[in-house]
Chain A
């Protein structure tokens, strides 16, 4: 399937792309567009104004996708809290990792194009998933 989002990828879009590829569509192909009218008819838009998979009811796009695809994995919801705080910093959650992720992704977007940001941030989210998975399993900070 084809998926479209705004060019100039940052935390929420990078996390959504990782989520789509790892949990929804392993063969996902991503398009980066400058304007929402540029989304092709066969592509599913995400993290764009007017898209179902965007910010709604105070949720960031990552949370919206989790709800829409009924992904109930508690590890993904823990990551959602971090992405939410990195993206919106509205203190809905206690996620001190958020500001750090915000800086890392902003820096990457300054030196890399969108394809590369997605490629580089993938392993970062894989690692974050594993860390949070162990946290949930052990019920404490993993060593």
Chain B
């Protein structure tokens, strides 16, 4: 073997869910968005393999089956590194955009302290949700964290921080 570097392991979910009723189909779609999956094709999504991601996709699969669809879970490795890199880049770019939205909102000037407190609380929740689905952190992650912390220090009196 003269491979330069090994590709990683991924957990894949291949699924079909009836178009109607639309509510369960949309619920599954939202769940996958929240998990930050890479969409490899129609009804085929991927996450880096791990206990947590495997379990999360197991339960999405169960939900698809409960709603009259079919679902299978696979553990797979990409055929070559370039392919894997493209998937990783896509996921990193998607997260970077989400962090940038947080950075932008953290730069706004709240009207008063109450509004500042609410904004900090909301952005911290947003950051936590993005970080939970961030498997290949872009530099924007740390920038966003600092931006929200700065906002907290500028607008919330010590002792009352959210």
Interface residues of chain A, those whose CB is within 8 Å of chain B, are 8, 10, 49-50, 54-58, 88-90, 99
**Nearest A-chain residue to B67, judged by Cβ:** A57
- Interface digits, B58-89 against A, CB 8 Å rule (1 contact, 0 not)? 11011100100000000000000000000000
Q: How far is the CA of A8 from the CA of B62 in the complex (A)?
A: 19
Check if B161 is an interface residue, CB within 8 A of chain A. Answer: no
Interface residues of chain B, those whose CB is within 8 Å of chain A, are 27, 31, 34, 51, 55, 58-59, 61-63, 66, 128, 132
Q: Is the interface of A mostly helix, strand, loop or mixed?
A: loop
| Residues of A close to B58: CB separation below 8 A | 49
A59 to chain B, nearest CB (A): 11
A55 x B63 contact (CB < 8 A): yes
A54-B132 CB under 8 A given contacts A8-B51, A90-B34:
no
Could you name 17 residue pairs across A and B whose Cβ atoms are closer than 8 Å? A10-B55, A49-B58, A49-B61, A49-B62, A50-B62, A54-B59, A55-B59, A55-B62, A55-B63, A56-B62, A56-B66, A57-B66, A58-B27, A88-B59, A90-B31, A90-B34, A99-B128
Q: Name, among B27, B31, B58, B61, the residue most crowded by chain A CB atoms within 10 Å (CB to CB).
A: B58
| Residues of B close to A49: CB separation below 8 A | 58-59, 61-62
Q: How far is the CA of A21 from the CA of B31 in the complex (A)?
A: 32
The 9 closest A-B pairs by CB, nearest first: A55-B59, A49-B58, A49-B62, A55-B62, A8-B51, A56-B66, A54-B62, A49-B61, A89-B132
